[in-house]
Structure 1
Amino acid sequence: MSEEHLIDNYRLVNCLATGSCSQIWEVNDQETGERFAMKLLLEEAFKQAEMKATLKREYKIAAGLDHPNIIQVFGHVQTKKHAYMIMEHFGGPNLKQIIRGDILVIHMRLRKLVECLLMGLSHVHEKGWLHRDVKPDNIMMTKATDVRLIDFSLSSKAPSGLSKMLGGKSKTIQGTRTYIAPEIVRRKLPSAQSDLYSFGVSLYECLTGRPPFMGSSPNDLLIKHIQEPPAIPSAFNENVSTEM
């Protein structure tokens, strides 16, 4: 086995996803034969102390959560060559991939999907955390409707009562602009409701195949979250009822 396909005791089998800072790999533990997923920092990100700290922090947050609808994490390793996190290998695509492939798969399982996701989010909030990046890319589902909420890299502690009373402001806008809540655009403090707004945008996309807001530029998209009422979902999918 060539060294490039081995990281410590893990054999890299298949690259499942590539982001701007990291890759997700299917890996095998050479000692036990067990299969896991590895979130591995890319070379440029590994050179940045902030990226390594973010990965370590993500691991600590996820390790403090224990819910069947939240991805399990098993370890974090940082050496002179690599920084990575070991997670459960979950045998399903994310919702964005399903929407692009066969959206009816989601429609047939929608009630169970919504229940599982909201229970997972509720657990995150009960533990005092906000996810801050709820979107179809960060929700995985199998054909048996096993559901996992993933990626806690942007997560933060829920603001305290004192912070809310003082009307604190966020220094930066964090999150994915297509799914971001209006109060975040206004640089107000996030809350559990901010996650629920992002969930609502994700549900809209699951129902219609497109998000409620699409902008000609990043700033245009942010303004639409504040100023523009979305088209009713039935405008894009006639099967969506008023009750939904």
Structure 2
Amino acid sequence: MNSGPERDTDDPLIGRLLDGRYRIGDRIARGGMAGVYEAVDVRLDRTVAVKVMHPGLGDDGDFAERFVREAKHAARLSHPNVVAVYDQGEERGTVFLVMEYVPGHTLRDVIRQQAPMPPLKALSLIEPVLAALAAAHQAGLIHRDIKPENVLIPDAPGGVPKVADFGLAKAISADTQHTATGGVLIGTVSYLAPELVVDGRADTRADVYAAGVVLFELLTGKKPHEGESPIQVAYKHVHEDVPPPSSIVTSTEPELRIPAYLDALVARATARDREHRAADARVLLHQVRRVRQALADGVLDDPELVADLAPPAVTAQQEAQFHEDTTPDPLGSQRPAAATTTAVAAAVAADPARAHVEATTTFDRS
């Protein structure tokens, strides 16, 4: 993913008047499926962001149809913490999506510069993300790719964080939604819920898991699971609990101290068994506000709050049931079962250093 506006004199889109309305300017982000450009809506005389599918992808009728359908889902959302979707169209094979332009930086920049950060600061940053997800879940949508790169922080004073890239958003049906399409696992490996790795199914609790991982990263400055390859990272999400943030942050500074009830909050949000997580972002948002209030009141020890937030204890039998889709390696280690391997196979081609599957463009301006 490239970052920041860039001038590419060989890019035929730059300077083009798309659909007779959008004058394309510098590219501000790039991904495996699309690029995002700063543009001017000449009809309304306003700056917008235009996401354009890479050449050739628009020729895939199924993919283009899905792009249009999911753009319509995203356009249903109207919330101050969600990047607005204005328009969608196609011109001579160029499929595009027009969105609100948010000049600024991403939550990834904040993590690099400020994490580990005081718990109150971390909660103040995750709360607008959860507010956006709560609105989406209320509207029957799941985001499916929550990560710091998809949270935009406006440069303008008083600007509110906004969640971007609802282009992957999926309408919630009676069944949970498959997120693996054509062998490509949609999402980012570092934030994938275990069930996405195992069978490629997502519901609101997958967004809860990803938000919990982001909170862990804000508190610690580290990702909970790392490895030499994306598959290793994905597999750890299935087999290893997210560690308590307090086990990572050992600072004696009072403002950085992580109370047991905040560890419990992270554990609940990132429980490997989705039945043990908050049902959706609305519930997690309520839990975050309870914890934030306790911190603001100076409460550092609250056993009752810990008991309320901590996920249920997992028995050995439940753990065995949870891992029934894995097979033992002849050398004594564990490896994914065939279904799991298929789901994450696309990760092998991803950049191991970034450890993510590029399924769409994100606003990485870091």
TM-score (normalised: structure 1): 0.84
In the other structure, the counterpart of 1:204 is 216
Say if 1:74 and 1:87, in contact at 8 Å, map to a contact too: yes
Q: Which runs of 5+ in 2 are unaligned?
A: 1-11, 263-366
- Report the Cα offset of residue 152 of structure 1: 2.2
Q: Which runs of 5+ in 1 are unaligned?
A: none
Q: Deviations over 1:72-100 (max 9, x none)?
A: 11111101142111111112222123323
In the other structure, the counterpart of 1:195 is 207
In the other structure, the counterpart of 1:175 is 187
Please, which moves more after superposition, 77-86 or 232-241?
A: 232-241
Q: Which has the larger radius of gyration?
A: 2
- Report the Cα offset of residue 39 of structure 1: 0.7
Say if 1:159 and 1:189, in contact at 8 Å, map to a contact too: no
Partners in 2 of 1:116 and 1:11 — Cα distance?
32
Matches within 5 A, 1:58-73: 58-73=70-85
1:34 to 46, 51, 55: 46
Say if 1:233 and 1:240, in contact at 8 Å, map to a contact too: no
Q: 1:240 to 1:76 in 2, by over 3 A?
A: farther
Q: Deviations over 1:177-209 (max 9, x none)?
A: 110111222217422121100101111122222
Q: 1:181 to 1:19 in 2, by over 3 A?
A: same
In the other structure, the counterpart of 1:93 is 105
Question: Is 1:151 the equivalent of 2:165?
Answer: yes
Aligned-CA RMSD value: 2.7
Say if 1:54 and 1:153, in contact at 8 Å, map to a contact too: no
TM-score (normalised: structure 2): 0.58
Q: 1:105 to 1:6 in 2, by over 3 A?
A: farther
In the other structure, the counterpart of 1:219 is 231
Partners in 1 of 2:42 and 2:97 — Cα distance?
16
Aligned length: 237
Q: Which of structure 1's runs of 4+ aligned residues deviate more than 4 A?
A: 104-109, 168-173
Say if 2:115 and 2:218, in contact at 8 Å, map to a contact too: no
- Report the Cα offset of residue 232 of structure 1: 2.9
Q: 1:16 to 1:106 in 2, by over 3 A?
A: farther
Q: 1:138 to 1:17 in 2, by over 3 A?
A: same
Among all aligned residue pairs of Structure 1 and Structure 2, give the percentage whose two residues are the same amino acid: 27
Partners in 1 of 2:199 and 2:93 — Cα distance?
37
1:6 to 16, 21, 39: 16
Q: 1:97 to 1:45 in 2, by over 3 A?
A: farther
1:17 to 21, 25, 29: 29
Partners in 2 of 1:12 and 1:109 — Cα distance?
37
